[in-house]
C-alpha cells in the first residue's frame, strides 16, 4: 500500500502520518463487520475502540436516533432541559450501585474525567482551602487526553511533550499479591492530606489490559473512604458489561463517590459521557452566588440524540439476550485458553467478561513495542481488526458476536503468532 502523501487533508489520531499507509475506506458497517471500498469484510474484534456494544448500524439504535432527530436534535442545556436526558438518568439510576446520584453530561471519556477532577478539587478547596490535595492513580493508567486527565495518568510517550505543565500526581504500581501490603502503607500516608483516588476498576485498558483483583482494589478504597478521600471510578471502558457486570465497581463492596461513563453509554453510536457524583458534591456547590457553582459545560452538553441512543442501548442491555452474548463470548475464551497457552508464543492469558488479553512472549516496551505494527498488519490481512497494545493482543468484540466468529478470531491469533 502506498503512503499517504502530504496533500491528504485529514490528520488522524494516534498516528505518525509520515509512516501511515493509504487507509482503508469504510463504506458501511453491519453487525460485527466493517465493509471497505476495495471489497473487504473486516471483523471488528475490538468494538471500534471499545465503544460498540450491540453491533454496527444497529437498527433499533438507528430508529431511536432518527425518531429523536425529527422531534428535537439539540438545545442549549444551560437554562433548558428535555425529557430524554431526564429519562436516561432515571433509567441509569436503577443499574448503578445504590446511592443518591447526580448526573453531569459532557461529550467523551476525557471530559467525563476532567469534570470529575474539577468537581473533586473544587470540593476540597471549598471545604479546606489551606491544605494540599494528593491525587493518586495507578502506574500505566490512562484517563484521557485533556490536561487534567493526562495529569492523572501515567507519564508516557503520549504525555511527554507537556509533562512540565501537569499538576502533581502520585502513581502506585498495579496491585498484586506481593505488593498490596506496601501499597496500603503508601495510601495511608498519602491519605493524611485530602486525597483523590482515580482508578480504572479491575482492568487498566490502554496500559495493556492489565488485570488486578477486586479484593486489592477494595483494600485501597477502604483506606481512602476512612480518611474522607474521594474515590473516582473511571468506568469509561469497563462500564456496560465489559467485566461481566453492569459496572466494574460492582465487583467490590465499596461504592465510589464518582463514576465516569462514556464509550458504551450510547452503544457506540454517538459521542456522549456522564460524570455521576454523590449528592454531597452537588450540595457543596449550592449557593446564592453564581460564582460558587460548578462552572463547566460544553456546547453539546445533554445532546438529545445522544440521550436517545443511550436509552435505546439501555433497552438492549436490559434484555437477557445481551447478557447471553457476553456469556457466550467468555465461554469461547475459556474453551480455547489451553490451546493459546500451548502455542509457546503467548503468556499471561487473562480474561474477564468479554475481554480476552495475552502477551506475546517479548519484553514489554509498552505501546511502541516494535511488534505492534507487525501484528496489526498481519491481523488486518486476515480480515480482523485487532489493534494490539504494544505486544499485548486482546479481543473485546460486540456482544452480538457469534461463537463461530470468536473462534475464528482466536484461530487467526494463533496463526499469526506462530508465524512470528
- Domain with 125 in it: what CATH number? 3.40.640.10
The predicted structure's pLDDT at residue 362: 76
Say if strands 134-138 and 195-199 run parallel, antiparallel, or are unpaired: parallel
HSE (CB half, 13 Å, CA atoms) of 379? 26
Residues 248 and 116 in one domain: yes
Residues 324 and 291 in one domain: no
Residues 205 and 92 in one domain: yes
Residues 297 and 349 in one domain: no
Residues 270 and 355 in one domain: no
Over the stretch 114-160, which tens digit does the pLDDT of each residue have? Answer: 999 999 999 998 876 667 899 999 999 999 999 999 999 988 888 88
The predicted structure's pLDDT at residue 114: 97
**Total domains in the fold of the chain:** 2
H, E, C per residue of 122-146: HHHHHHCCCCCCEEEEECCCCCCCC
Q: Is the pLDDT of residue 2 over 60?
A: no
In a domain, 6, yes or no: no
**What radius of gyration do the chain's Cα atoms show?**
22
- Can you give the length of the chain in residues? 420
In a domain, 9, yes or no: no
Residues 302 and 337 in one domain: no
The predicted structure's pLDDT at residue 365: 66
Over the stretch 279-318, which tens digit does the pLDDT of each residue have? Answer: 999 999 999 999 999 999 999 999 999 999 999 999 999 9
Residues 193 and 272 in one domain: yes
Alpha-carbon gap, residue 352 to 269, rounded angstroms: 24
Residues 145 and 35 in one domain: no
Residues 313 and 330 in one domain: no
In a domain, 8, yes or no: no
In a domain, 11, yes or no: no
The predicted structure's pLDDT at residue 1: 47
Give the residue-averaged pLDDT of 170-192: 97
Alpha carbon distances (Å) from 375 to 360, 361, 387, 404: 10, 13, 8, 22
Among 317, 351, 367, give the residue marking a domain's end: 317
CATH of the domain at 379: 3.90.1150.10
Residues 212 and 357 in one domain: no
Q: Is the pLDDT of residue 9 over 90?
A: no
Q: Is the pLDDT of residue 195 over 90?
A: yes
Proportion of the chain above pLDDT 90, given as a percent: 86
In a domain, 3, yes or no: no
**Interacting residues of 124 by C-beta distance below 8 A, sequence separation 6+:** 131, 133, 194, 230
Among 292, 317, 342, give the residue marking a domain's end: 317
Continuous H helices in 128-263:
147-152, 180-190, 214-226
Residues 313 and 337 in one domain: no
Q: Is the pLDDT of residue 192 over 50?
A: yes
Among 317, 343, 376, give the residue marking a domain's end: 317
What are the E-state strand segments in 31-74? 33-36, 41-44
Which residues constitute the domain of residue 356? 17-57+320-419
Residues 35 and 168 in one domain: no
Over the stretch 338-375, which tens digit does the pLDDT of each residue have? Answer: 999 999 999 999 999 999 999 998 766 677 788 999 99
Proportion of the chain above pLDDT 70, given as a percent: 97
Alpha-carbon gap, residue 125 to 145, rounded angstroms: 24
In a domain, 394, yes or no: yes
Give the residue-averaged pLDDT of 186-191: 95
Q: Is the pLDDT of residue 5 over 60?
A: yes
The predicted structure's pLDDT at residue 299: 96
The predicted structure's pLDDT at residue 130: 60
Q: Is the pLDDT of residue 398 over 70?
A: yes
In this structure, of 104-113, 121-130, 186-195, 200-209, the range with the lowest mean pLDDT score is 121-130
**3 state DSSP class of 102:** strand
In a domain, 12, yes or no: no
Q: How high does pLDDT run on average in the chain?
A: 94
Give the residue-averaged pLDDT of 30-37: 98
In a domain, 68, yes or no: yes
> What DSSP designation does 157 have?
T
More confident residue, 410 or 163: 410
The predicted structure's pLDDT at residue 15: 82
Alpha-carbon gap, residue 331 to 190, rounded angstroms: 41
Going edge to edge, which strands form the sheet with 41-44?
A: 26-30, 33-36, 41-44, 384-385
Look-up: residue for cell 475464551?
333
Q: Is the pLDDT of residue 33 over 60?
A: yes
Amino acid at each position: 500500500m502506498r503512503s499517504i502523501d502530504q496533500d491528504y487533508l485529514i490528520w488522524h489520531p494516534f498516528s505518525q502520518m509520515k509512516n501511515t499507509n493509504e487507509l482503508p475506506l469504510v463504506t458501511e458497517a453491519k453487525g460485527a463487520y466493517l465493509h471497505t471500498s476495495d471489497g473487504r469484510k473486516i471483523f471488528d474484534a475490538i468494538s471500534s475502540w471499545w465503544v460498540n456494544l450491540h453491533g454496527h448500524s444497529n437498527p433499533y439504535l438507528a430508529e431511536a436516533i432518527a425518531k429523536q432527530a425529527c422531534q428535537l436534535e439539540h438545545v442549549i442545556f444551560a437554562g433548558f432541559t428535555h425529557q430524554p436526558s431526564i429519562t436516561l438518568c432515571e433509567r441509569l439510576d436503577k443499574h448503578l450501585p445504590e446511592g443518591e446520584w447526580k448526573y453531569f453530561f459532557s461529550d467523551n471519556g476525557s471530559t467525563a474525567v476532567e469534570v470529575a477532577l474539577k468537581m473533586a478539587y473544587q470540593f476540597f478547596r471549598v471545604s479546606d482551602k489551606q491544605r494540599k490535595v494528593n491525587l493518586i492513580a495507578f502506574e500505566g493508567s490512562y484517563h484521557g487526553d485533556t490536561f487534567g486527565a493526562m495529569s492523572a495518568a501515567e507519564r508516557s510517550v503520549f504525555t511527554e511533550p507537556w509533562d512540565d505543565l501537569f499538576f502533581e500526581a502520585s502513581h502506585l504500581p498495579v496491585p498484586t499479591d506481593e505488593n498490596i501490603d506496601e501499597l496500603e502503607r503508601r495510601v495511608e500516608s498519602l491519605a493524611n492530606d485530602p486525597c483523590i483516588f482515580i482508578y480504572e476498576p479491575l482492568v487498566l485498558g490502554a496500559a495493556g489490559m492489565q488485570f488486578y483483583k477486586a479484593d486489592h482494589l477494595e483494600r485501597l478504597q477502604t483506606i481512602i473512604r476512612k480518611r474522607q478521600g474521594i474515590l473516582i471510578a473511571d468506568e469509561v471502558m469497563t462500564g456496560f458489561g465489559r467485566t461481566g457486570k453492569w459496572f466494574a465497581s460492582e465487583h467490590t463492596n465499596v461504592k465510589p463517590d464518582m463514576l465516569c461513563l462514556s464509550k458504551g453509554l450510547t452503544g457506540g453510536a454517538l459521542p456522549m459521557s456522564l460524570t455521576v457524583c454523590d449528592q454531597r458534591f452537588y450540595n457543596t456547590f449550592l449557593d446564592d452566588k453564581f460564582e460558587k457553582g460548578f462552572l463547566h459545560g460544553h456546547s453539546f452538553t445533554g445532546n438529545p440524540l445522544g440521550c436517545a441512543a443511550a436509552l435505546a442501548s439501555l433497552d438492549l442491555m436490559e434484555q437477557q439476550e445481551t447478557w447471553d452474548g457476553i456469556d457466550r463470548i467468555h465461554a469461547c475464551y475459556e474453551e480455547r485458553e489451553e490451546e493459546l497457552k500451548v502455542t509457546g508464543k503467548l503468556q499471561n492469558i487473562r480474561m474477564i467478561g468479554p475481554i480476552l488479553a495475552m502477551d506475546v512472549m517479548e519484553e514489554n516496551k509498552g505501546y511502541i513495542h516494535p511488534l505492534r505494527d507487525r501484528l496489526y498488519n498481519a491481523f488486518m490481512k486476515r480480515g480482523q481488526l485487532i489493534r494490539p497494545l504494544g505486544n499485548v493482543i486482546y479481543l473485546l468484540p460486540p456482544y452480538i458476536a457469534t461463537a463461530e466468529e470468536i473462534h475464528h478470531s482466536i484461530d487467526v491469533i494463533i496463526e499469526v503468532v506462530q508465524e512470528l
